[in-house]
A and B are shown apart, each in its own frame.
Chain A
Amino acid sequence: MTQFLDGIGYAGWILPALLLLPLLGAVLVVAQGAMHKGDDASAMPAARQLALGIFLAEAVLSLGLWWALDPASPDWYGKVDLAWIPQWGVRFTIGIDGIAQMLILLTTLIMPLAVLGSWTSVREKTHSYYALLLILTTGMLGVFMALDLVLFYVMWEVMLVPMYLIIGVWGGQRRLYASLKFFLYTMVGSLLMLVAIVWLGLQAGRGGPPVFGYDAIMVMTKAAPVTGAMWVFLAFAIAFAVKVPMFPFHTWLPDAHVEAPTAGSVILAAIMLKMGTFGFVRFAVPLFPEVAMHPTVRMVMLVLAVTGIVYGALVALVQPDFKKLVAYSSVSHLGFVMLGIFAMTVESLQGALVVTISHGVSTGALFLLIGMIYERRHTRQLEDFGGIAKVMPIFATCLTIVALSSIGVPGTNGFVGEFLVLLGSFPTQPWFSFVAATSVIFAAAYLLWAVQRIIYNPLVKPENQALKGHDLNWREIGLLVPLLLAIVWMGVYPKPVLTRTEAAADRLVRGVEAARLSTLRKADGTGLNGEGR
């Protein structure tokens, strides 16, 4: 496989191709929409088929990445570096490592499932809808690839707008409130980030044209403390923390999830939240290790992470709306990622990356399942269900498996990630790990209780009895099966994933550790505090 990929020069064109294909696809979809103007009935099947085709092509193209990357290589894979806006020093630089690789694959594989998941539920303005999904994909992939800070910012914004529109147009009753809240929350964060990026670029330029290249800025921050590093880190951290979302910046998420259409929720949970954690792993922490590992900063981040874990789980416990419950469970799960990052051991970081992927799979599947039952029952209130397992046994089986994965039962992907995070965090942060581990109890409580109220208990409500004969159809089963397989595969044999991210994680930990030690040495040697202020 590697030979074949080399033969077709895969590394040279794959990343730009992955970015361009959805954009071209969006043009095609919009053009097709122009032909079906005003006729939603005929537009819908055409649009969804075209979009699905493009997403499938994208997925197939990206699959080569699984074999193409040499995990041990310290170089960026598939690097493309072009001048873009020379007078501002902005370049179009993209390239990936093992971490970005896994996130890109997650994105390209989730997207076709998200399209299949909204196959019948989106009936209006379908062409705009699918065009936005495609643009969104370019933005998300661009975020994972960008090695120029301005390009990163542009991609970050590119993905913000389509999601805003997806929630605001195709969302539920309170979609305007939810989309605005989403927009404002993220906008505030990203504007701070823009200021920080410009500030960094000017410094890296040393009086000449600014420099925004990731590698160049990395060299600069490693060589000497950056002026205002603390503020720059803070700006990045807030932008990313909103996206994750970390407690207490999380309140946009439940509203956004509840109002978003199924595909929106799936993409939001499975991919977009990971932008935040990816931002920490790629930018905030490696560029400013001495700030990130400063005892106070680290303490604050760990406290927020663990608070999010327990808080999210407790609040999820009392949610009457299933989507909201899952939204709060995301706050809890993403807290594990943050704990793993700021505990900063290879095991905890690897765990964080596994949670990143497996939360995408499991929570994506949960939202798809919620969408399926919502299409049948037009409600998400837990009290409206009961006894569904009697009439929809296949749905019940799928929901149970996915819930168990989200609970983190061993043998599923959920366990591997959380276990590694907690195990890896314990040597450096025993108390945080200890408190975070209590969430295994709450996670079981909120999800099993929810599952019970949906599929178990007496089947008494006529609306639920009427579901008989309306179990999942082949399309729905077909789109869930890959996710169910991923759940078990990553739980039983996560080695292929772990080995692909190991080197990148190891580099990060060693880099951060070296910076921390040199800071300590400086502090010892000069008697000054070397926090890089």
Chain B
Amino acid sequence: MQVEHAATGHPLADTVARFAWAIPVLPLLGFAVNGALALRAAGTPGPADPSAAGHHGDAGHGHDAGHHGAHDAHGAHADHEAHDHPARHPAAGLVSIIGPAVLALAFGLAVAVFSAMRGAGEGMHAPYILTLFDWLPTGKLDLAVAFQLDQLSMLMILIITGIGTLIHLFSVGYMQDDPGYPRYFAYLNLFVFFMLILVMGASYPLMFVGWEGVGLCSYLLIGFWFSEQANADAGKKAFIVNRIGDFGMLVAMFLMFANFGTLTYTGVAASLGDVAVGGALVTAICLFLFLGATGKSAQIPLFVWLPDAMAGPTPVSALIHAATMVTAGVYMIARSASLFSLAPAAQLTVALVGALTAVFAATIGLKQWDIKKVLAYSTVSQLGYMFVGVGVGAYTAGVFHLMTHAFFKALLFLGSGSVIYAMHQAYHATHNHADAQDMRNMGGLKQYMPVTFGLMWIATLAIAGIPPFSGFFSKDEILASVFARTQHSTLAEASWLGVPGSVVLYAVYALGLIAALMTAIYMTRMMLYTFHGPNRTGEAERGHLKEAPWIMTGPLVVLGLLSAFGGFLNLPALVNVGWNEGLHHWLEPVVGEGTLRVTHGEAAHLSHATEYALIGTAIAIAVAGIAYAFARLKPEALTPAAEAPAEQGIAKTLLDKWYVDELYGKVAVRPTLGLSRVVLWKGMDVGLIDGVLVNGSALLARTLGWIGSQLQSGRVGTYAWVLVLGLISVLSAFTFR
């Protein structure tokens, strides 16, 4: 098939890139070893024994589930015992080396491939396709397990393995006293393997393998502390909600196969030559693909699983539910740029849903008390921005924000992990069962955790969009692209459910600004309540608050640097330093054509004056948000969670997340269960088919009932004999005739 042929003579064929298959295989090996260690240790009694360790001993667990009232659910005695004698897993030493080492090696190899790719220069206008073996060869389908190495997958590989390494290192500290330590690293390694398959696969089905694989690991890690029902519920919810999206992806693949006869990226792109812009088929394909994206990337209407996913360990939230997996939908749309650029109505849908999600999630983020919940809704909101970017055909801008967000959100989550870790250690020392994740129990932490405090402020300024931090550049590029598309683009000229495209785009732009304002507010609120003002942790606990060990703060420092300076990878053309638009040029061979189709073949053109005005607006909004938060929020007026009054009115509605979960439960979950139980099972199966039709012929059954009575008389041996003899005589009738 075309993949074989594309690989020959490619400039990367004779470089280290031909070993790129080892990038995913390394974490797979890690999974195998750590998984074996987990099972082996689990089988032997001792400190690792699951029940002897009671409720998953120590660091970083119970508090993660804190918002679900997990501490009440804990058996108080078992908990105390386990906390007093934290027992490290017997295999912990080996696991601590293998887990992060396979990631570091994969990252090293990725860097080598990256430099080979840079060396190939112009030759990289076609992807390098590395075919490993046949996968599904049947009929017209000819799918191979093949990796596609190009600028887009390369960038994703670097993000995944790079940030993955940092988060694995952080986990060594954060999870060190957990009885499930090897299991944790096994899952985390497996996740990285599937995530790499997702971005490296050269076809939609292979992407789907990674897509569902990361969902599986997400499920396992959200429910990592499965003895709390809330955690197990959250994992299951994530998987099932994601499967709704996966249904969309499947249908998109079926449509592509039925109409193009192929499912590889190169094959699909080559089939689009005579497809008209705005056709029904390509629009349907894109909308079904986007349904998949709303699941994995937590957009309206399928975002509900992500906040619950915070039940998992905090490093998992950083890696899977912020930096990598949840951005898979954005990657998928960028990967499908040639499809989406042919379907303006679908693109406008993507942009509008992204913008609405950005605002909607931000409103909820304004009123959460759980520090991880704030970050969770912030993630949903920022993912919305990325969809706005890829939705308006500014694929580079969307991917740029994906990257900077990976930096600053990983930092924010790991930073919150450090905070939770410190809070937990303090509560642990005093046997206090207060919620270690509730910001009302924090306050004034800057004096106890100055490094975390400083780094998290960098990330906050980055996400709020303050120059020169990374998030400013990526968010600005998205908003500027939306503004530019309102003129001279296929999007502006298209109509969306009868509304002119340009109107939709102006609305998206306005929503983007509103979300930006709220982002600045809720992030500043989080920083104020956590680090500023007086401390509310408790008299006895205060003395135990301290900075996390270096294995945890080290990765934070690296992420801090990336959050601060990562934006320089794609400086706008406005600031002429000679290496502007680096990412833009890098991704141009992959997504350039798609973008140009949206803009009628011209580079996006905004006058400098307009561009300065847009930048000024964005900065003004970010500064206004931060200033508002500083002016209006009074950390010193807060009371600890236990004494806090119940929320009321709109604040309660926001805290309760607009009751979306309750709505889904009422209109989808409970009716389905009711239908299945009452109508189908009891009604149809037991009632109609069995009751009326089958047992209606009970008369017949009763006349044959003597067979049953014979059975109980113990003469079955006779039966067997008769059967054997009968068979033998029948067979010998022809054999010896």
Contacts and interface: CB of A to CB of B under 8 A. Distances in A.
Interface stretch (A112-120, A228-236, A264-272, A492-500): A492-500
A203 interface: no
The residue in B239, B690, B711 that gathers the most chain A C-beta atoms within 10 A of its C-beta is B711
A493 B209 contact: no
The residue in B205, B226, B244, B689 that gathers the most chain A C-beta atoms within 10 A of its C-beta is B226
A424 B139 contact: yes
Given A180-B705, A410-B208, A347 B227 contact: no
A393 B711 contact: no
Given A125-B717, A449-B236, A427 B258 contact: yes
A426 B716 contact: no
A135 interface: yes
Contact of A444 (B73, B243, B250, B680): B243
Main secondary structure of the interface of B (DSSP, over half): helix
Contacts of B672: 314, 317
A456 B232 contact: yes
B696 to A, nearest CB: 12
Contacts of A448: 219, 236, 239-240
A132 B720 contact: yes
B694 A458 contact: no
B715 to A, nearest CB: 10
A85 B212 CA distance: 56
A227 interface: no
A250 B705 CA distance: 22
A18 B384 CA distance: 62
Nearest to B144: A495
A354 B717 CA distance: 38
Contact of A127 (B45, B219, B717, B719): B717
Contacts of A254: 685
A458 B227 contact: yes
B227 A387 contact: yes
A426 B711 contact: no
A23 B51 contact: no
A33 to B, nearest CB: 7
What interface size band does chain A fall in?
A: 35 or more
B354 interface: no
Contacts of A483: none
Interface in A323-372: 345-347, 350
Interface in B689-737: 689-690, 694, 697, 700-701, 704-705, 707-708, 711, 714, 716-717, 719-721, 723-724, 727-728, 730-731, 733-734, 737
A211 B701 CA distance: 35
Contacts of B700: 184
Interface stretch (A49-57, A95-103, A432-440): A432-440
Given A27-B724, A176-B708, A499 B137 contact: yes
A458 B209 contact: no
Given A251-B694, A350-B139, A427-B258, A441 B717 contact: no
B243 A350 contact: no
A441 B248 CA distance: 11
A128 B344 CA distance: 70
Contacts of A399: none
Contact of A390 (B43, B140, B227, B255): B227
A77 interface: no
B558 interface: no
A317 B676 contact: yes
A426 B255 contact: yes
A12 B212 CA distance: 47
Interface string B239-254: 1100110110011011
A504 interface: no
A184 B690 CA distance: 13
Contacts of A252: 694
Contacts of A158: 727
Contacts of B255: 426
B673 A180 contact: no
Given A180-B704, A411-B209, A433-B254, A502 B138 contact: yes
Interface of A: 23, 26-27, 30, 33, 82-85, 92, 125, 127-128, 131-132, 135, 138, 154, 158, 161-162, 165, 168-169, 176, 179-181, 183-185, 248, 251-252, 254, 311, 314-315, 317-319, 345-347, 350, 387, 389-391, 393-394, 397, 404, 409-411, 415-416, 419-420, 422-424, 426-427, 430, 433-434, 437-438, 440-441, 444-445, 448-449, 452, 455-459, 465, 468-469, 471, 492-495, 498-499, 502, 505-506
Given A180-B707, A456-B226, 20 more contacts: A26-B724, A30-B720, A128-B719, A179-B708, A184-B697, A248-B684, A314-B680, A317-B673, A319-B681, A390-B227, A394-B42, A410-B212, A420-B141, A426-B258, A438-B247, A440-B246, A444-B240, A452-B233, A457-B229, A498-B136
Interchain residue pairs A-B with the least CB separation, the first 7: A346-B139, A426-B254, A393-B42, A456-B226, A456-B232, A410-B209, A318-B677
10 contacts: A128-B717, A128-B719, A179-B708, A411-B213, A416-B136, A420-B141, A445-B240, A452-B233, A458-B73, A502-B138
